[in-house]
Amino acid sequence: MKQLCGLLAITLTLATASTGAQQKPNFSGSWKMNQVKSDFGPAPAPDTFTRKIVHAEPSITIDEVQGSPLGEQATSRKMTTDGKEGTFEVSGAQVKATAKWDGSALVVVSSVPQIGITYNDRMTLSPDGKVLTSVVNLSTPDGAIDVKVVFEKQ
């Protein structure tokens, strides 16, 4: 009986340890902004905003298209989730970017040092995998803007 209790205790400890380790969510999918649930603060909200994400840990590619009365702006970011710095181009400017895990959130930091802009995007996925939320802090020489963009899986 004593051995059985000891075995049960070890089994429960191992089960707790394995469930305590956080799973990294997979952000893959086509995502469309829910404008009603999003909050752009003082910044003008885009009319449309979509993300297509291909995520095969540790590689992630994020293709975005934002539409406004001034037209569409498309960006593509390819990076790894291990914090290694990569670069991509937006409107002719070189952007430095890193992505790393903070628990189950993926934190993507992009910067354009030449003009002093840093974009900190903390992405989380709802438990059912149908809602992607980006909490963004945009830091500029003129100040900071906090934005929350809520995307729904298509």
Task: Give the mean model confidence (pLDDT) for residues 36-63.
Answer: 96
Task: State whether CATH 3.40.50.150 applies to domain 24-153.
Answer: no
Q: Is the pLDDT of residue 82 over 50?
A: yes
pLDDT at 89: 87
Q: Is the pLDDT of residue 32 over 90?
A: yes
Percentage of residues of the chain with pLDDT beyond 90? 77
pLDDT at 10: 37
What does the H/E/C string look like for the chain? Answer: CHHHHHHHHHHHHHHHHHHHCCCCCCCCEEEEECCCCCECCCCCCCCEEEEEEEEECCEEEEEEEEEECCEEEEEEEEEECECCCEEEEECCEEEEEEEEEECCEEEEEEEEHHHCEEEEEEEEECCCCCEEEEEEEEEECCEEEEEEEEEEEC
Task: Give the mean model confidence (pLDDT) for residues 127-150.
Answer: 97
Domain ranges of the chain: 24-153
pLDDT in tens, 1-14: 444 333 333 333 33
pLDDT at 22: 61
